[in-house]
Structures are given as structure tokens and as C-alpha cells.
Amino acid sequence: MSDSTDRPLVEAVLSNAPGAFERLVREYQDLCWHIIYRMVRHPEDARDLCQDTFLRVHRTLHQYRYESALKSWIGRIAYHIALRHLERKRIPIFDVVQDSDLPALVENLSDGFDLEAAYADLDMAVRLHAAIEALPPLQRTVLTLYHLDELPIGDIAAITGLAIGTIKSHLFRTRLHLREVLESAHGVLP
């Protein structure tokens, strides 16, 4: 959706056009769900938080100034609601990784290892899913927004309030980590 499609929808919701808000929810519920479910992981909590997000959108839509895409604006609300939920539960949202760990990690990766073939093994697929689930909330969310929702890095930065370089770094390190998990599970890495 772009400004040209956002504007009529926002104006329809603000003028209480029948079905307009439901249309808005339908349009953005997947994005909202991906952000919140990836952050909090608990389905019941995530559903409640998704509802809270859209109720807040309904209450504050008159404050939306078209300075960013509506998608980013709603995503930012969802992200902050999930973030506050995690803070209340004292769950850290990302791992502190030392930059000095990276070169060793990159050098240890095998060039010739065929992950495609290894993945045919069901156990490897299960391991990969488990590794994704075990990621810290922020990294999991960034990966999902980038790969599943196909959001550009700039939009992810707008949603999370992080710098573009930080998002790139999270993507890079997390995918590297997943590769390492798979290769070490297959006995390639020391």
C-alpha cells in the first residue's frame, strides 16, 4: 500500500465509513501478527496484544500525518506494544553479541558443505526450526519481517526505531548463526 491507497482508507476510517476500519484491520493484521507473535511467542498473549494494537490505531488514527507509510506506522505501534509486554515480563529482546566473535565464525564455515542435501534429513529441518524459535525476540522479528513480509530494511528500521546498519547487522549475524547451527549439527564445524 502507498500514500495514494493509504489516504482514502484513513479518511474512510476517520469519517466512520461502514466497514472501513474492518478493511484496515484485514489489510494489516498479518503484519501486526508477525511482529507481535514473533516477539512474544505466546499465541494467546499475541492475540490480545494484536487487538490492543488495532484499538490503539482506531483511537489515535487522527494523529497519523502521512509522514511514513501507514504500514510502518501500524507496525511501530505493534512493535512497541509487544516490546512493553516483554519489558513487563523482564524478557530481554536481543542477545548482546561481541563484534570480535564474528571473524572466527565466518572463517569456521565450510565452503563445500551441502546444506541442501543435509536439509533433506528431517532432523535437520527440525533443528533449523528450533534454532529460529530459540532466537531472541528482536532477531526473530527482524528475520520474519525481512523474509516473510518482504519489508525493505528501511521499513524495518522505521518500525523498530533502530538504525538501518543495526538491522543489517542483525540480519547478517542471525543468518550466519543459523548456518553455523546447521553445520555444527551435521558435524561440519569443530
Partner 1 sequence: MNHTPQPPHDEAEEREWLMQERAAEASRLGSVPDDATPTPYGVIVRTLRQPLDENLPADFACHVAEHARRRASINMYFELVSSWILCGILMVIMTGLLIHFGTDWLKPIQSVLPLHAMANEWVAALVACLLVFNLINKLLDARMRTVH
80 counts as binding partner 1 under rule CB under 8 A: no
Question: Which of the 8 DSSP states describes residue 163?
Answer: -
Sequential DSSP letters for 96-114: ---TTHHHHHHHHS-SS--
- Smallest distance, partner 1 to C-beta of residue 15, A: 8
85 counts as binding partner 1 under rule CB under 8 A: no
Residues contacting 57, CB < 8 A, separation 6+ = 24, 74, 77
- In degrees and rounded to multiples of 5, residue 42 shows phi and psi of -95, 115
- In degrees and rounded to multiples of 5, residue 65 shows phi and psi of -110, 15
At 151, list the grid cell.
519489508
- Which one among 84, 148, 154, 161 touches partner 1, defined by CB under 8 A? 148
Say how far apart CA 33 and CA 78 lie, in whole Å.
8
Query: Which amino acid belongs to residue 10?
Result: V
68 counts as binding partner 1 under rule CB under 8 A: no
Q: Closer to partner 1 by CB, 67 or 107: give it.
A: 107
- Smallest distance, partner 1 to C-beta of residue 160, A: 13
Q: Closer to partner 1 by CB, 9 or 182: give it.
A: 182
128 counts as binding partner 1 under rule CB under 8 A: yes
Site string for partner 1, 160-189 (x = CB under 8 A): ---x-xx-xxxxxx-xx-xx--xx------
Residue with cell 550466519: 176
146 counts as binding partner 1 under rule CB under 8 A: yes
**Cα–Cα separations (whole angstroms), residue 42 to 36, 38, 49, 84, 133:** 9, 9, 10, 15, 12
Closest CA to 34 of 156, 163, 181, 168: 156
**Of the listed pieces 1-9, 33-41, 67-75, 80-88, which binds partner 1 according to CB under 8 A?**
33-41
Q: Which residues of this protein are in contact with partner 1, per CB under 8 A?
A: 16, 19, 21-23, 25-26, 29, 33-34, 37-38, 43, 46-47, 50-51, 54-55, 58, 92, 94, 96-99, 102-103, 106-107, 109, 113-116, 119, 125, 128-129, 132, 143-144, 146-148, 150, 163, 165-166, 168-173, 175-176, 178-179, 182-183
